[in-house]
Amino acid sequence: MTDEVAAAKAAAAEYKSSENDGAGPETVFDNILSGKWPSDKVYEDDLSLAFRDINPQAPVHVVVIPKNRDGLVKLSNAREDQKDILGHLMYVAQSVGKKECPDGFRIVINDGEHGAQSVYHLHLHVLGGRQLNWPPG
């Protein structure tokens, strides 16, 4: 089992044990948003924050998150009234991707334990800066 898969399994267990309100436990992203932990910001607006991943999987690895989690702990929890923020996050991700990776990029969303999600606050990974392989997993 890879470190990422092990982290995802641990995060899923922690999330499942705290599902009473659907918000999930506090995450590293909450600490970044509050300013408690630093981040290398790439982009910020009223709705979202994009920053460099501390464990990059490609030369360019930026994470895009909503500032207000509002139950968006994973994509499969998205509600119809959250379509605007989902579209905004995709738009921010493509803007970051075009700027950081002019030759192309990949956007990844990990969802749940089998999707290797290790932080239960919806986030998009923008990966690039080199030729990416397919299939990814």
Cβ-Cβ contacts under 8 Å for 121 (sequence gap 6 or more): 24, 27, 29, 30, 65, 66, 69, 72, 73
123 is catalytic: yes
**Whole-number Å distance between alpha carbons of 128 and 104:** 7
Alpha-helix residue ranges (DSSP H) falling in 39-131 = 83-100
> Residues with Cβ < 8 Å from 99, sequence gap 6 or more?
none
CA-based angle 35:16:32, to the nearest 5? 10
Whole-number Cα distances in Å, 16 to 12, 92, 117, 126: 6, 29, 13, 27
Catalytic pick among 61, 121, 123, 125: 123
Q: Which residues are catalytic?
A: 123
